[in-house]
Structure 1
Amino acid sequence: MKLQKSKLLVSKVILLIVFIFFNAQGMKAQNNNTMKTHNLDTEAITDAIENYYFKGIYEGDAILLESIFYPGTLVYGDVNGQPYFKTADLYLDGVKNRQSPKDAGKPYKGEILNIKVVNSIAMAEINLKMYEFNYRDFLSFHKINGKWYIVNKMLTNVSE
């Protein structure tokens, strides 16, 4: 009788160990999936910044820029200490009607400093040098219907 209880106890312990082992493996796989999704989102945001935002500003392509701005987006900040506020439509109109850095033959450099993703929202900090300005932009992104859009832009100019 004692031997049978002992065997039963050993069997339960083995089952418990197996259960814990497989659950730990499952949790690890779940974390890997979360990490893969996070990496894919970061890559998608990087692509949007480099191939739409930076390129659109450099070339003065308001249509390209508009494709990553969500309707109703607002642009806030300061330039040389002066408050700056525009709707995305007014901002894009300004981009369309100014001479682009490309057409002016002026130096231009865009750099992604940081991207933070949490679920369907993200924040990107970028540095953008063009004309006599060195802009620091904070772009808020939201993933809507599987696509990352800029939903808010804040900017200021900083010294080198």
Structure 2
Amino acid sequence: MKLKSFAALFFIAGAAFAQEADTAGARVPVENYIRAHATGDAAFMRKAFHPDAKIYSYRDGKLQTLTVDEFAKLFPGKPAANEDKRVRRIENVEVTGVAGTAKVYLDYPTVTYTDYISLLKVDGEWKIINKTFNGVSKPKS
């Protein structure tokens, strides 16, 4: 009986450790995504996203879709002039097997974005496979 209890405890602890390791691994592309925004360096963004990923939003009454290449063109290669006034945070990362999600807040001087990111572990590496977002403009002061 003690052996069965020990084996069950060992299995549960091992599964929990593996889940934590996968969650940490899934954070890596999300952190690269945030670095891309902070530095303006599209290389971080390309490292974060799977090449077939899509970026979706709904603006001005229309569904907007960007490819990774189109999204990369929005990164100028240098930080924004008001970078010191921008705040970003990873709200959460959740993983089940080879799939995961992340929620990211980007609080900028004129707009706040909420990003919902879908992650997949492809060939042993976590990548952003899809991003949807909502932006809310701030009142002009």
* 1:63 Cα offset (Å): 1.1
Q: Which has the larger radius of gyration?
A: 1
Query: What is the match of residue 64 of structure 1?
Result: 44
Distance 1:55 1:38, change over 3 A: same
TM-score, scaled to structure 2: 0.85
Name the amino acid aligned to 2:4: N
Match of 1:144 among 112, 115, 122: 122
Listed as ranges, the matches of 1:45-84 within 5 Å are: 45-50=26-31, 52-79=32-59, 83-84=63-64
Structure number with the higher helix fraction is 1
Query: What is the match of residue 89 of structure 2?
Result: 111
Question: What's the Cα RMSD here?
Answer: 2.1
Question: Is the 1:61–1:96 contact (alpha carbons within 8 Å) kept by the matching residues of 2?
Answer: yes
Query: Tell me, which stretches of 5 or more residues in structure 2 are unaligned?
Result: none
Deviation digits for residues 19-74 of structure 1 (CA, Å, limit 9, x no counterpart): x3212211211111111111112222233322x11111121111111012111101
* 1:96 Cα offset (Å): 3.7
Listed as ranges, the matches of 1:1-160 within 5 Å are: 20-50=1-31, 52-79=32-59, 83-96=63-76, 102-106=79-83, 107-158=85-136
Deviation digits for residues 62-95 of structure 1 (CA, Å, limit 9, x no counterpart): 1111012111101111346653211121111122
Question: Is the 1:78–1:157 contact (alpha carbons within 8 Å) kept by the matching residues of 2?
Answer: no
Distance in 2, Cα, partners of 1:34 & 1:109: 34
Distance 1:48 1:136, change over 3 A: same
Name the amino acid aligned to 2:10: A
Query: Tell me, which stretches of 5 or more residues in structure 1 are unaligned?
Result: 1-19
Distance in 2, Cα, partners of 1:27 & 1:159: 52
